[in-house]
Structure 1
Amino acid sequence: MKTMCASDTNSSNFIGVICGLKSEAQAVAAGVDKSKIRIGVSGANAARAEDIARDFCNEGASAIFSIGFSGGLDPALRPGDLVIGETIIADDGSVYAGDRYLLGCLNPALSRESGNPGRSAKMDPRLRGDERGKVEARLAALFGADEIVDSTLKKSALFQNHGAVAVDMESHGAARAAARAGAPFLAIRAIADPADRALPPAALNAVAPDGSVRALATVGAALRDPKQLWALRELGQDSAAAAKTLRRSLGPLFSRLFLSLDL
């Protein structure tokens, strides 16, 4: 069975993937058959993510995915842990459900520890895309923020008030466009900064509109306040762990999707 966007009048032959950062897009491209996907980079902007997802649907995408890094809200999640969004809770209160068919397609590729949103799943790094093709992931709610969630207090409030385990700035925009087009949607996010770690001020303007990182400006801002240098180093290590998880995990997951969607 092939699932298609409602606006598709011809054959749909690709999965549309929206990433916030170029580095996230590179991780996706490294792990997935690039001939069967199209990747758009939104620059950590929900409105841009929505535009890209809408364009993909108009071009006949079989499904829309939001893939990239995420800030941890649940203290049980650590850098490199993988989360698949059963629901996306937007800043305006809207709630978008992850497509049940797509979740069903991925289920055979998930390890036995995956899939219980009512508990903090035990994360075994050996199962993040190992030779057996099994992936360790948490199925749970994600929060889509329009502004950067930079403090541990903000993260704690989102976790307590909404029950979301992770936050990003693109998924709700992509989900909104997919819902309007009648397209299947799912978010796959790897944890970068965990719940107990605040983002250093120097990193708050690090992402350019094209999804690149303003590395020189970010380091320059940190040098004016050297105590931020260690925090930036930790953030870089966390992001590297998240990218590694995406590269390892997306191959087994998308192999299942390509078969199920006849791609």
Structure 2
Amino acid sequence: MLPIPEPISRNARATIGLVAAFSWEVRPLLRRQNGMEHDGPFCSFSLRGETVWLAIAGMGAENSFRAARNLLERFAPRALVTLGFAGGLLESLNPGDVIVADRVLDQETRERFDCDADLWPLEGVQRGSLLSVTKVVASAAEKRRLAREWGAVAVDMESAGVARAAVEAGVPFCAIKSITDSAGQSIPIDFARCRSDHKRLSWLKMVGEGIRTPHGIRDLWMLARGARIAARSLAATLCSGESRGKR
């Protein structure tokens, strides 16, 4: 591991390192912040009484692992938190519901990582296992299959990478995710084909994917609406303890 550089200012060393896949997942959260500091790809602000540094990782566990390692090497946080979106596997979960994982399950390696679910005590959230997968779970049928096989309440693509980095560094971690799509909702696009680079998605490519299926544009609109609700709800939960944001 590389030596940890000196902090960029007196208050720069993080107490918590945050990792999100894409900037729009945390945009409503960042809009609530004042006096943010920036250091290259990282930004810092105060959240729930802690100094945090945020890294935007891009899609997938490999990118999230790399971003978490960079945070650990640069700022030596006492803990890591993965934030962002997840798809619902539990029938009762709706867009905007926030879950705090008690464990992360890696579909690829079948590893199980215990989370410090009380790292940030939050009101109005649901607990359960979060399944980390290697590609977007596109169909409601596949969601049902994964729910039966793994007993997880939600699915994402980044949490296993952050979990692995935290375990290697010997620091606690947790996963706080906001639901974008319910268990019965299918996703009409392959996000892997919609990337403009590893941290951004092309809306033009997403629309192109959407028109490939009969109800693709309608389903894409529903997903976009769910993402807006999820991002606002995540911000409200983290900043005020409320489980839902503005609609």
TM-score by length of 2: 0.80
Where does structure 2 lack aligned partners over 5 or more consecutive residues? Answer: 8-12, 35-43, 46-50, 242-247
Counterpart in the other structure of 1:73? 89
Q: Is the 8 A contact 2:181 2:226 kept in 1?
A: yes
Cα distance in 2 between the residues matched to 1:97 and 1:183 = 12
1:106 is paired with a residue whose SS is coil
> What SS does the aligned partner of 1:74 have?
coil
Q: Output the amino acid matched with 1:178.
A: A
Name the counterpart of 2:175: 187
Question: Following the alignment from structure 1 to structure 2, what is the Cα–Cα distance between the partners of residues 206 and 9?
Answer: 36
Contact 1:32 1:251 in 2 (8 A): no
SS of 2:91's partner is: coil
Aligned partner of 1:159 in structure 2 is 147
- Does 1:52 pair with 2:67? yes
Q: Deviations over 1:110-154 (max 9, x none)?
A: 2xxxxxxxxxxxxxxxxxxxxxxxxx1001110000122111121
Match of 1:117 in 2: none
Aligned to 2:22: 21
**For 2:65 and 2:225, how far apart are their aligned partners in 1?**
29
- What count of residue pairs does the alignment treat as equivalent? 218
Which has more strand, going by share of residues? 2
> Distance between the aligned counterparts of 2:111 and 2:139, measured in 1?
23
SS in 1 for 2:200: coil
SS of alignment partner, residue 201 of structure 1: coil
Moved more, 38-47 or 28-37: 28-37
Cα distance in 1, alignment partners of residues 158 and 217 from structure 2: 27
Give deviations 1:223-263, integer Å, cap 9, x for gaps: 4556311111111111111011012111136xxxxxxxxxx
Q: What aligned pairs does 1:192-207 form with structure 2 within 5 A after superposition? A: 192-201=180-189, 203=191, 205-207=193-195
Distance in 2 (alpha carbons) for counterparts of 1:154 and 1:226: 19
Using the size of structure 1 for normalisation, the TM-score is 0.76
Choose which of 45, 55, 71 in structure 2 pairs with 1:40.
55
* Relative contact order higher in (CA < 8 Å, ≥ 6 apart): 1
**Cα 1:202–1:141 shift into 2, 3 Å:** closer
Q: Which runs of 5+ in 1 are unaligned?
A: 1-6, 111-135, 254-263
Alpha-carbon spacing, 1:104–1:71, altered in 2? closer, same or farther (3 Å): closer
Once residues 182 and 134 of structure 2 are traced to their aligned partners in structure 1, the CA distance between those partners, rounded to angstroms, is: 19
Q: Distance in 1 between matches of 2:184 and 2:135?
A: 19
Q: Percent identity?
A: 27
Whether the aligned pair in 2 keeps the contact of 1:69 and 1:192 (CA below 8 Å) is yes
Cα deviation digits, residues 170-215 of structure 1 (max 9, x gap): 0011100110100110000000011101110365533444432210
The separation in 1 between residues aligned to 2:182 and 2:77, in whole angstroms, is 33
Distance 1:183 1:238 in 2: 32
